[in-house]
Amino acid sequence: MNAVGLITEYNPFHNGHLHHLRESLRLAGAEISVAVMSGHFLQRGEAALADKWLRARTALAAGVDLVVEIPFPFACNSAPHFASGALRLLDALGASSLCFGSEAGELAPLQEAAGHLERDKERIEAQIRRRLCLGESYPAARAGVLATEGLGEGAVAALRSPNNILGIEYLRAIAANGSNIRPLAIPRIGSGYHEQRESEGIASATGIRARIAEGRPWEHLLPRQGATLLAQALERGLGAQKERFFSALMGRLLPGEEALCGLYQADGGSLRRLCNAALEAVSVDDLVERAAQKQLTRTRIRRMLVYALLGVKSEMGGYLECGPLYLRLLGASKRGEAYLGKRRDSLGLPLIHQMPKAKKALRRFYGEDGKCRQAAEMLALDCRATRLYSLLMPGFSKHRNRDFFEEVIRGG
């Protein structure tokens, strides 16, 4: 069975995602769609609108066959780490292709940019760091450096758009991992990544979340069943609220920088800025603006805040070095289950269906060596993210260790 891989957040699953799913299957000539999806905290340092099980359920309802969770160290990290972790999961699942949406809509300019970045990585990164110190954003700094390197106009332009940037990192990850996955790109349609307008029934996830927050109509921008599931969850208070996120962060930051010593990606100066900003901030957005500076981008601050919430420290370096160590199955259609059944003996990582049996599955795959322990610790971090995410939902009333109680979602 030929499987096409999708790297996703589905925050929420909307009509643009449905178009991407259908076009990916067509372009790849695939029978199976395999989505690797972020858990409760996302790449840009935000809490997901809805929990990972609801988002997996909406994806299955729209026709996705498998939904596997991207472990937290990769899901909430910079684009290179996010791309590398997701690509390794797709490799382990046996996907033959990866199809992603991009503003460029074609591979050639993305491959040109990716190849140049890989060939002279250290020198280019040094030049980028100099531009960052002058106050440029990372995408602008990287595009500015490569504009002086003789790249084609299309390749330089590609470096300025969010989905293109991720696409370039997917191509770099394929090359770095020696993967046989075939990359495919389709044009992004409708509104841009950060835009809030609607175009022909399609809006960005950012725009849809803004509509929900403002009480404007949004259901028509999602597939019908997914819209119903999300609306029901929000009515029951099962959507993450920024106010609760802010309160939880204050509990971590107000004790002072000593309590956060060793926080991943934070030095003494950035910790001091965060803790000082917390003394006056009135919202998450306000906190980020107060802490931002030339060398500390808003996206990086948002990720640091999530690391502070979860108490993530130096162990992250080891996780990133070894890559994802398991396949955490969130949902599967009947076709997806059949696909897993045929590949059970050739999966590149241990498959985890039930958390109570996870340690046994890890020992069976790794034995008793250090990787087994590291995998268990990485999995425990995913569970910690779930427990803390439950604080953000005002209507939550279940056991907070949901990873141990939620069943794999079965689709049609």
Which domains does the chain show, CATH number per domain? 3-109+185-238+323-410 (3.40.50.620), 242-316 (no CATH)
- pLDDT recorded at residue 161: 74
- pLDDT recorded at residue 197: 58
Q: What percent of the chain has pLDDT over 70?
A: 97
Q: Is 376 exposed, middle or buried (0-12, 13-18, 19+ CB in 10 A)?
A: middle
Which tokens sit at 169? 């990192």
- pLDDT recorded at residue 193: 46
- pLDDT recorded at residue 271: 93
Q: Is 29 within 8 Å of 11 (Cβ atoms)?
A: no
Alpha carbon separation from 233 to 20, 51, 240, 300, 308 (Å, rounded): 25, 10, 10, 30, 27
Q: Is the pLDDT score of 33 beyond 90?
A: yes
* 196 vs 4: which has the higher pLDDT: 4
Q: Is the pLDDT score of 191 beyond 60?
A: no
- pLDDT recorded at residue 156: 72
Distance CA 120, CA 128 (A): 12
- pLDDT recorded at residue 139: 72
Q: Calculate mean pLDDT across residues 362-384.
A: 95
- pLDDT recorded at residue 219: 97
Q: Is the pLDDT score of 335 beyond 90?
A: yes
33, β-bridge pairs: 4
3-state secondary structure the chain: CCEEEEEECCCCCCHHHHHHHHHHHHHHCCCEEEEEEECCECCCCCECCCCHHHHHHHHHHHCCCEEEEECHHHHCCCHHHHHHHHHHHHHHHCCCEEEEEECCCCHHHHHHHHHHHHHCHHHHHHHHHHHHHCCCCHHHHHHHHHHCCCCCHHHHHHCCCHHHHHHHHHHHHHHHCCCCCEEEEEECCCCCCCCCCEECCEECHHHHHHHHHHCCCCHHHCCHHHHHHHHHHHHCCCCCCHHHHHHHHHHHHCCCHHHHCCCCCCCHHHHHHHHHHHCCCCCHHHHHHHHCECCECHHHHHHHHHHHHHCCCCHHHHHHHHCCCCEEEEEECHHHHHHHHHHHHHCCCCEECCHHHHHHHHHHHHCCCHHHHHHHHHHHHHHHHHHHHHHHCCCCCCCCCHHHCCCCEECC
Q: Calculate mean pLDDT across residues 377-401.
A: 97
- pLDDT recorded at residue 200: 67
Q: Calculate mean pLDDT across residues 4-15.
A: 98
Q: Is the pLDDT score of 196 beyond 70?
A: no
Q: Calculate mean pLDDT across residues 172-195.
A: 82
Instruction: Look up residue 21 and give its amino acid.
Output: L
Pairing state of beta strands 327-332 and 66-70? antiparallel
- pLDDT recorded at residue 96: 98
- The region of weakest confidence among 196-200, 201-205, 230-234, 328-332 is 196-200
Q: Calculate mean pLDDT across residues 316-329.
A: 96
Q: Calculate mean pLDDT across residues 108-118.
A: 86
Distance CA 113, CA 122 (A): 15
Q: Is the pLDDT score of 172 beyond 80?
A: yes
Q: Is the pLDDT score of 195 beyond 70?
A: no
Q: Calculate mean pLDDT across residues 21-33.
A: 97
Q: Is the pLDDT score of 192 beyond 70?
A: no
Could you tell me the pLDDT band of residue 1, with boundaries at 50, 70 and 90? confident
pTM: 0.94
Q: Calculate mean pLDDT across residues 40-51.
A: 98
Q: Calculate mean pLDDT across residues 198-219.
A: 92
pLDDT digits (tens, 9 = 90+) for 340-350: 999 999 999 99
Contacts 24+ apart (CB under 8 A), 116-122: 116/146, 116/149, 116/151, 116/155, 117/142, 117/146, 117/168, 117/172, 118/172, 118/175, 118/176
- pLDDT recorded at residue 268: 83
Q: Calculate mean pLDDT across residues 362-372.
A: 92
* 165 vs 83: which has the higher pLDDT: 83
Instruction: Provide the mean pLDDT of the chain.
Output: 92
Distance CA 48, CA 41 (A): 6
- pLDDT recorded at residue 150: 73
